[in-house]
Structure 1
C-alpha cells in the first residue's frame, strides 16, 4: 500500500518535469535566434550536399608511377588508392559530363523552391492540412503526361507540357464542376476528389505501361522514379515557368495570410477568395508539369514540409512558412539525392518515412 502511494506521488512530479522541459524547449525553439540558427545549419547542409552531389565519387584504383606502371608494396601486392572526389576538370571536360553532374542538383533546387510553397498555398485555400499537389491529383496528372510522351514520342519533350496542361485542366475542371459554392463549403472535399482522380490516372498509367512495356515500366506509377533524360532544353523551358509560378505565390502571400486566419474576414476586406483559389490551383498545375519534366516527382513533399515548419515553429504566416519551407526542402532534397545516387535508396521512400512520422504527430495532436 505504501509502495503504491509512493509511485502515485513520484509519477506526477516526473511527468510535470518532463512537461516543463518540453514547454521550455518549445519556447526556445521558436525564438528568432533558434530559427535563424536552424535555418543557417540547414542551408549549410544543403550547400554541402549540393557540392557532394557534384564532386563526390568513391573510386578505387591501382597506384601508378610516373611511367603509368602499377606500384607494388614489399609483399609484392599492388597498392590500391581510393579517391573520394572528382576534379572540376573531369566535370567540365565535355558538355555531356557537365550535363550529367550538374543537371540533377540544379533541378532539385528548382523543385525545392516551388513544390512546398505550392503545398502550403493549397492548404490555405482548401482549408485542409492534408492538401498537396500529390493528394489533389496534380502530380499524378503530370506523371501521366510524362508517360504518354514516352509512349508516343520520347524525343519530343514538349509533348509533356501539352499533355500536362490537358490532364491538369481536366483535374481542375472536375473540381470546378463539383464545387457549386465557394471554397469554404464544408461539403466540398477536394482531398477526397483528388484521391479519386489520382486512382483513375494511376489506372490509366498502368494500362499504358501494359500496352507499351518496352517504353514505360509499370513501377513508375507507384514509385515515381521516372527515366528522365538530362537535357538542358528542358531546364531552359521549365526553369522560367517554375520561377514565375513561385513569384506568383509570393505576390499572393498577403492575401493568403488573411485567408489563413479567416475566409470571411478576407471577403469583407474585398479579397476575391475564388480567384485566389483558382489562381493557386492553375499555378500549382503548371509547377507540377514543369518539375516533372526535369526531375522525378517527390511525392508528399508539398504536404510534409509545410506541416513540419508549422509544427516546429508554431508560425503560420505564409511568407515565413514559404521561406523556411524552401530551406528545409533544399536540405532534404539535396541529401536525398546524395543517398539516391550513392546508395540506391529511393527518395520517395525517405519522404514516405518522414511523412509517416509527421502524419502520426498530426493525428495525435488532433485527437
Structure 2
C-alpha cells in the first residue's frame, strides 16, 4: 500500500514539474521568442532587457497560459464526472448539451438581430461571454429540472443529446438566414481560443472552475460507488438523486464557463480521463481527479504551444490541435471496447 501511494506521489511530483516547465515554455514561444531567463525574471518582478517583452508576457502570454491550465484541468474533470455518471467511456463534458446551449447563445447574439442581443454585442468580448452563459444556464436549468423527473442516467443522457441536437438545429437555421460575414464571425468563435481571455475575465473564470473542481473532490467517494451501479449505491445509503445533481452542477460550471470564455474546446474532456486510467490502472476517483487535473493541464499547454507554431506568424485554432491529439485516444477506446466484447 505504501508503494502504491509513493507511486502516485511520484507521478504527481513529476507531472507538477512538467506543468511548470510547459507553462514557462508556453509563455516563451510565439510570434516573438523571448529568452527563458527573461520569462522567469518577468514572473518574479525583475527588470527585463526589453520593455516590450514584459508587456507581451504580462498582457498576452501569461493570461493565455493560465487559461490553458484552467481549460485543461476543468474540462478533464468534467469529462471524468460525465463518464462516471453515465458509466459510458465515450461520454464527454458536453453530453448534457451545455456546449450547444452556449453556442446557441452566441449564435443569437451574432446572428439574430434582436435589440436585446444587439445591446450585448456592443460589449464586445464580454457580450459574447454573457450570451454564452445565458445559453448554457438555460440548458442547465432544463437538465436539472429533467434530472428530478428522469429516474435513470441513460434516459438523462438521451435527453441531453436531444437538447444538443435541437439547439444545433436552431443555430443552423440562424446561419441559413445570415450574411457570410456574420457566419464567419460565429465560426471563428467555434474554433475556440485561449488567447482572448483577459485578466478581468480570468478573475471570473478562475473561481468558477475552482468551485466545479471542489465539488468533484467533495463527491469522490460517491463517484466510486456510482461505478458499481445505482442499486449498490442505494444499499450504502447514498442519495443517487442528490449526488447526480451535484455532478451535473459541477460539470455545467466547468464546461459552461470554459465554453463561454474560450469557445468550445473539443476532445480534452473526452480523452484525458482515459489517459489517466491507462497510467494508473485504477477507477479510484481520489487518484483520478488530481491525475486528470495534471494531465489535462500538460496536454492543453502542449496543444497551445503547437497552435502557436513557434517562430511563425500563424496561429492554429485550438480545436484543430486538440482534435488531432484527442481523436486517436477516442478511437483506441472504441476499438479496445469492441475487442473486449468480441472476446467475451
Q: In the TM superposition, what is the alpha-carbon distance from 1:209 to its structure 2 partner? A: 4.0
CA–CA distance in structure 2, aligned partners of residues 131 and 252 of structure 1: 19
Does the Cα contact within 8 Å between 2:70 and 2:209 map onto a contact in 1?
Answer: yes
Does the Cα contact within 8 Å between 2:272 and 2:295 map onto a contact in 1?
Answer: yes
Q: In the TM superposition, what is the alpha-carbon distance from 1:275 to its structure 2 partner? A: 1.4
**1:332 and 2:292 are equivalent in the alignment:** no
Q: In the TM superposition, what is the alpha-carbon distance from 1:228 to its structure 2 partner? A: 6.2
**Mean Cα deviation higher: 276-285 or 225-234:** 225-234
Seen in structure 2, the aligned counterparts of structure 1 residues 45 and 361 have a Cα distance that, compared at 3 Å, is: farther
Does the Cα contact within 8 Å between 2:16 and 2:294 map onto a contact in 1?
Answer: yes
**Mean Cα deviation higher: 300-309 or 171-180:** 171-180
Does the Cα contact within 8 Å between 1:220 and 1:226 map onto a contact in 2?
Answer: no
Q: In the TM superposition, what is the alpha-carbon distance from 1:269 to its structure 2 partner? A: 2.9
Q: Which residue of 1 aligns with 2:45?
A: none
Q: Which residue of 2 aligns with 1:56?
A: 29
Instruction: Note the residue ranges of structure 2 that are not aligned, 5 or more in a row.
Output: 40-47, 112-116
Q: In the TM superposition, what is the alpha-carbon distance from 1:120 to its structure 2 partner? A: 1.6
Q: In the TM superposition, what is the alpha-carbon distance from 1:307 to its structure 2 partner? A: 2.2
What is the TM-score normalised by the length of structure 1? Answer: 0.72
Instruction: Note the residue ranges of structure 1 that are not aligned, 5 or more in a row.
Output: 1-29, 60-82
Give the secondary structure class of the aligned counterpart of 1:136. coil
Does the Cα contact within 8 Å between 1:304 and 1:355 map onto a contact in 2?
Answer: yes
Q: In the TM superposition, what is the alpha-carbon distance from 1:339 to its structure 2 partner? A: 0.3
Q: Which residue of 1 aligns with 2:252?
A: 285
Seen in structure 2, the aligned counterparts of structure 1 residues 207 and 52 have a Cα distance that, compared at 3 Å, is: farther
Does the Cα contact within 8 Å between 1:206 and 1:221 map onto a contact in 2?
Answer: no
How many residues in Structure 1 have an aligned counterpart in Structure 2?
312
Does the Cα contact within 8 Å between 1:304 and 1:358 map onto a contact in 2?
Answer: no
**1:347 and 2:321 are equivalent in the alignment:** yes
Determine which of 238, 262, 265 is the counterpart of 1:271. 238
CA–CA distance in structure 2, aligned partners of residues 212 and 279 of structure 1: 41
Q: Which residue of 2 aligns with 1:65?
A: none
Counterparts of residues 150-229 of structure 1 (less than 5 Å): 150-151=110-111, 152=117, 153=121, 155=124, 157=126, 160-161=129-130, 163-170=132-139, 173=142, 176-177=145-146, 180-183=149-152, 188-210=154-176, 211=178, 213-217=180-184, 220=187, 224-225=191-192, 229=196
Which has more radius of gyration? 1
Does the Cα contact within 8 Å between 1:119 and 1:306 map onto a contact in 2?
Answer: yes
Q: Which residue of 1 aligns with 2:332?
A: 357
Q: Deviations along 1:180-227, whole A, 9 cap, x unmatched?
A: 44235xxx4444433333333233333444525434427839963359
Q: Deviations along 1:71-90, whole A, 9 cap, x unmatched?
A: xxxxxxxxxxxx66374435
Higher relative contact order (CA 8 A, sep 6+): 2
Give the secondary structure class of the aligned counterpart of 1:135. coil
Q: Which residue of 2 aligns with 1:306?
A: 273
Seen in structure 2, the aligned counterparts of structure 1 residues 132 and 85 have a Cα distance that, compared at 3 Å, is: same
**Mean Cα deviation higher: 87-96 or 318-327:** 87-96
Q: In the TM superposition, what is the alpha-carbon distance from 1:156 to its structure 2 partner? A: 5.8
Q: Which residue of 1 aligns with 2:43?
A: none
CA–CA distance in structure 1, aligned partners of residues 147 and 256 of structure 2: 23
CA–CA distance in structure 2, aligned partners of residues 241 and 137 of structure 1: 19
CA–CA distance in structure 2, aligned partners of residues 91 and 205 of structure 1: 45
What is the TM-score normalised by the length of structure 2? Answer: 0.76
CA–CA distance in structure 2, aligned partners of residues 244 and 56 of structure 1: 31
CA–CA distance in structure 2, aligned partners of residues 55 and 138 of structure 1: 34
Does the Cα contact within 8 Å between 2:76 and 2:293 map onto a contact in 1?
Answer: yes
CA RMSD of aligned residues (A): 3.3
Does the Cα contact within 8 Å between 2:76 and 2:272 map onto a contact in 1?
Answer: yes
**Mean Cα deviation higher: 272-281 or 158-167:** 158-167
